[in-house]
Amino acid sequence: MAEIELPEPQELEEKKREPFTKRVALTTAIFAVFLAITSLGGNNAMKEMLLAQQQASDQWAFYQAKVIREHLYRQQKQRLELDLLEKESLKPEVKKRYEALLQETAKAAERYGKEKKDIRKEAEKLEHERDINRNKDPYFDYAEVLLQIAIVMASIAILAHSRSIFYFAVVSAVLGALFSLNGFLLIFRVPFFHY
């Protein structure tokens, strides 16, 4: 079995004092802050997407109920119209009562027709909000991955004292920060991120 050589405490103290190590450590802390912000944005986008979907589903169920009621009132109105035509020899007070009921039924059907339009608009607005948050989510996911890679690579750069690994970490962090910013603002669209 291969032996692992642990650094001496003096070596660690020397490394801690080196400017490269300090710069990389500070940069890694900044990467971690970006990661925390990105994670929060991704969680919020997902929560908002799920909430908007639930609310849209509720609105569509409400819309469907209004459509059914409107349909029932329209059927009742048609039935009353047929009854009036069929029973021409009704007493005037009964006929008056039929006509009042017919008007009341027509108003109810019209009211449900108007209400369902408002409910439909609200449901479509919620679906749009859901879609926006669904489009934001992949950018946050990829940003988190890139920022985590940047943190790991920066840590390796400290241990290996490698500037090239550190530059790789910086590039990864910059890409992660761009994706994170795009998750908040949706400035650009990467086609394969969307389904």
Domain boundaries, the chain: 19-193
Rounded Cα–Cα distance for residues 106 and 195 (Å): 45
Neighbour-count burial of 96, counting CB atoms closer than 10 A to its CB (0-12 exposed, 13-18 middle, 19+ buried):
exposed
Query: DSSP of 34-85, one letter per residue?
Result: HHHHHHHHHHHHHHHHHHHHHHHHHHHHHHHHHHHHHHHHHHHHHHHHHHHH
pLDDT digits (tens, 9 = 90+) for 162-183: 999 999 999 999 999 999 999 9
pLDDT digits (tens, 9 = 90+) for 66-110: 999 999 999 999 998 888 888 777 788 888 888 899 999 999 999
Rounded Cα–Cα distance for residues 45 and 140 (Å): 9
* Model pTM score: 0.76
pLDDT digits (tens, 9 = 90+) for 21-75: 989 999 999 999 999 999 999 999 999 999 999 999 999 999 999 999 999 999 9
Q: How confident is the model at residue 2 (pLDDT cuts 50, 70, 90)?
A: very low
Beta-carbon count within 10 A of 44 CB: 15
Whether the pLDDT of residue 142 is over 80: the answer is yes
Q: In this structure, what token pair is assigned to residue 40? A: 């929060």
Which of 187, 156, 147, 172 has its CA nearest to residue 34?
147
Rounded Cα–Cα distance for residues 34 and 174 (Å): 10
